[in-house]
C-alpha cells in the first residue's frame, strides 16, 4: 500500500473521540470478571429461554429470559435496552449473568454464593414476627428481615405482607438455617447511584418531582430521588400557612424548585411557592384604587389589621381607619381573626407589595397612612387636652363633696 493513502493532517475532535472510546473499550475487555460484579449490559437478542448480552467482553453474556418478565409475565425489555446484571460464572465459553437469584430451583448453595458475592435474592414477605418479618426465599428457605431493614418507612406492616422484593443477604450461618436479609441495602445503593447523578446535573432553580417524607411545624421534608431536603413553611404558598398539615400530607407527590444546594453539609432546600404563579402579577389589573372588595382578617397587630383579599395578597387596614371616628387601643377591640369584612383600596404600591385599605363605611375619616406608622401612647388614652379636662373635672367633683 502506498504511503500516499495516509494523510499527515492531525485528527479532528470526532476522530480523537472515537480513538478514546476505542482505547477505553479495549481496556474494558481486558478487565477480568469477578463473580458478583455488577455491570451495565446491552440486550442483543431475546429468546424463549435465554437472552444474549453485550457485556464489553470477548464473549457474549447470557441471561435467563425469565428475568426480563414483569409481574404479568410479559417481556418488559427490548433489544438495545441497557440493564444492570451480576456476573455469576464462566462455563464452556459462556458468561452467565443474573439480575437477582430466585426461582424454586435455587437452594442454600446458591444463597450462600449470593451472600459471598453480594448478588440480590428474590424474597416474599410472609408474615410479621418479633422484631421484623419472615421472608421466604428461593427453594422455600426462610429468612429474617428486621423492621429497620425494610427501608419502607411509610408502609404499614400489613401492607408489606405478600410483597415480593429484592433482598441482600447480610448474614448466612448454620448452613442456611440462620439467614438475615435486608431490602434497605438495595434501596441505599440505588439512592447513592441517583445521588451521584444528581451531583453532576442538579442546579439551583431546577424544578424536580418529589414526595413528602416527613412533616414538622416549620416545614416538610421532600425526597426528590437521591437526596432529601427541607421545604420551609414560608416556601409552601404565597399565602400565609397556619397549619402545614392542612396543605400537605405524607407521601404526597409534589413539584418543587431547588432553592439551595450544599453538598458539603448535605443540606438542601426547596420551594413549592416558586413553582406557582405569583398573584401580585395581576394586582394592577384586578385591584383598583377606590374600589370595594371582600376580604378576611388574617392577622392583628398593634398598628392595624392585615386583610387577605386572596391567597398571597394581603392589605393593611390601619388602626386609624377603625373605631368609626373614636380612637381605639388595639384592632382586636373591633375586629377578630377570620372575620369577613368589606374594604376599599386606598393605595397600591406594587414594588413594595403593599396595599392600604379602609373600611367601606369609614373611608372619609383619615387621610393616607403609612405601613410603618405606629400609634402613639396618647392615641390609646386620648389627647393631652382630654387628659387635662379629665383632671379638672376630678378636682371640681372633690370640691362639691
CA dist 219 and 78 (Å) reads: 43
48/117 same-domain check = no
Q: What is the pLDDT of residue 36?
A: 77
Residue 390 lies in a domain: no
Q: What is the spatial distance between Cα 32 and Cα 311, in angstroms, rounded to a whole number?
A: 63
In the prediction, which pLDDT does 39 show?
83
pLDDT digits (tens, 9 = 90+) for 198-256: 988 999 999 999 999 999 999 999 999 889 999 999 999 888 888 899 889 998 999 99
Q: How large is the greatest C-alpha to C-alpha distance in the chain, in angstroms?
A: 137
Identify whether residues 284 and 342 lie together within a single domain: yes
At residue 322, the pLDDT reads 85
Please tell me the predicted confidence (pLDDT) of residue 101: 73
Asked if 296 and 340 count as a contact pair (C-beta separation under 8 A), the reply is yes
388 within a domain of the structure (yes/no): no
pLDDT at 311: 83
Residue 389 in any domain: the answer is no
Claim to verify: residue 339 and residue 319 sit in the same structural domain: yes
State the residue range of the domain holding 22: 3-98
90 and 133 belong to one structural domain: no
| Residue that is written with C-alpha cell 369609614 in the block | 362
Kindly state whether residues 120 and 174 are assigned to the same domain: yes
pLDDT at res. 207: 94
3-state helix vs strand vs coil in the chain, percent to 5: 25, 35, 35
- For position 2, what pLDDT does the model report? 42
Query: Which CATH number covers residue 221?
Result: 2.40.50.140
Nearest to 256 by CA among 220, 228, 231: 231
Q: What is the DSSP string of 195-247?
A: HHHHHHH--TT-EEEEEEEEEETTEEEEE-SS-EEEEEGGGT-SS--S-GGGT
- What is the count of structural domains for the chain? 4
Instruction: Note whether 75 and 122 are same-domain residues.
Output: no
Asked whether residue 18 falls in the same domain as residue 80, the answer is yes
Considering the domain architecture, whether residues 130 and 76 belong to the same structural domain is answered as no
Instruction: Indicate if 114 and 92 belong to the same structural domain.
Output: no
Give the burial string for 317-342 (b: 16+ CB within 10 Å, else e).
bbbbbbbeeebbebbeeebeeeeebe
Counting as low any pLDDT under 70, the low residues of the chain are 1-32, 92, 102-107, 152-155, 361-401
Q: 101, 114 in Cβ contact below 8 A?
A: yes
- Where b means 16+ CB within 10 Å and e means fewer, 35-58 reads eebebebebeebeeeebbbebbbe
Looking at the whole model, is its pTM more than 0.85?
Answer: no
Question: What CA–CA distance (Å, rounded) separates 116 from 245?
Answer: 46
Q: Are 149 and 185 in contact (CB under 8 A)?
A: yes
Among residues 261, 251, 242, the alpha carbon closest in space to that of 221 is found at: 251
DSSP structural state of residue 69 = B
Residue 147 lies in a domain: yes
Read off the C-alpha cell for 8.
Answer: 499527515
Residue-level pLDDT at 136: 92
Amino acid at each position: 500500500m502506498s504511503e500516499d493513502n495516509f494523510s499527515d493532517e492531525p485528527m479532528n475532535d470526532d476522530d480523537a473521540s472515537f480513538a478514546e472510546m476505542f482505547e477505553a473499550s479495549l481496556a474494558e475487555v481486558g478487565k477480568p470478571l469477578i463473580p458478583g460484579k455488577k455491570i451495565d449490559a446491552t440486550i442483543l437478542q431475546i429468546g424463549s429461554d435465554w437472552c444474549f448480552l453485550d457485556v464489553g467482553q470477548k464473549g457474549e453474556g447470557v441471561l435467563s429470559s425469565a428475568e426480563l418478565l414483569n409481574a404479568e409475565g410479559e417481556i418488559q425489555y427490548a433489544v438495545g435496552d441497557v440493564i444492570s446484571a451480576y456476573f455469576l460464572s464462566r462455563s464452556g465459553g459462556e458468561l452467565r449473568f443474573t439480575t437477582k437469584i430466585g426461582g424454586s430451583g435455587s437452594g442454600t448453595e446458591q444463597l450462600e454464593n449470593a451472600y459471598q458475592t453480594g448478588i440480590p435474592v428474590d424474597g416474599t414477605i410472609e408474615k410479621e414476627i418479633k422484631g421484623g418479618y419472615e421472608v421466604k426465599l428461593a427453594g422455600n428457605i426462610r429468612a429474617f428481615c428486621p423492621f429497620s431493614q425494610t427501608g419502607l418507612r411509610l408502609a404499614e406492616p400489613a401492607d408489606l405482607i405478600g410483597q415480593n422484593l429484592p433482598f441482600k443477604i447480610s448474614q448466612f450461618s448454620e448452613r442456611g438455617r440462620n439467614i438475615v436479609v435486608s431490602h434497605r441495602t438495595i434501596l441505599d445503593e440505588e439512592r447513592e447511584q441517583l445521588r451521584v447523578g444528581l451531583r453532576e446535573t442538579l442546579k439551583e432553580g431546577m424544578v424536580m418531582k418529589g414526595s413528602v417524607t416527613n412533616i414538622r411545624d416549620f416545614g416538610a421534608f421532600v425526597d426528590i430521588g437521591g437526596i432529601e431536603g427541607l421545604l420551609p413553611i414560608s416556601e409552601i404558598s404565597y399565602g400565609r400557612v397556619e397549619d402545614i398539615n392542612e396543605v400537605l400530607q405524607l407521601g404526597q407527590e409534589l413539584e418543587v424548585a431547588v432553592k439551595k444546594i450544599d453538598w458539603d453539609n448535605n443540606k438542601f432546600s426547596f420551594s413549592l411557592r416558586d413553582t406557582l404563579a405569583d398573584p401580585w402579577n395581576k394586582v394592577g389589573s384586578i385591584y383598583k384604587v377606590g374600589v370595594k372588595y371582600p376580604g378576611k382578617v388574617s392577622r392583628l397587630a398593634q398598628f392595624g389589621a392585615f386583610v387577605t383579599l386572596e391567597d398571597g395578597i394581603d392589605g393593611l387596614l390601619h388602626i386609624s381607619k377603625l373605631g368609626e371616628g373614636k380612637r381605639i387601643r388595639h384592632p382586636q377591640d373591633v375586629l377578630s381573626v377570620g372575620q369577613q369584612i368589606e374594604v376599599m383600596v386606598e393605595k397600591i404600591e406594587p414594588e413594595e407589595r403593599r396595599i392600604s385599605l379602609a373600611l367601606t363605611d369609614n373611608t372619609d375619616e383619615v387621610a393616607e397612612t403609612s405601613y410603618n406608622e405606629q400609634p402613639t401612647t396618647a392615641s390609646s388614652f386620648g389627647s393631652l387636652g382630654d387628659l387635662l379636662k379629665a383632671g379638672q373635672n376630678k378636682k371640681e367633683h372633690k370640691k362639691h363633696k
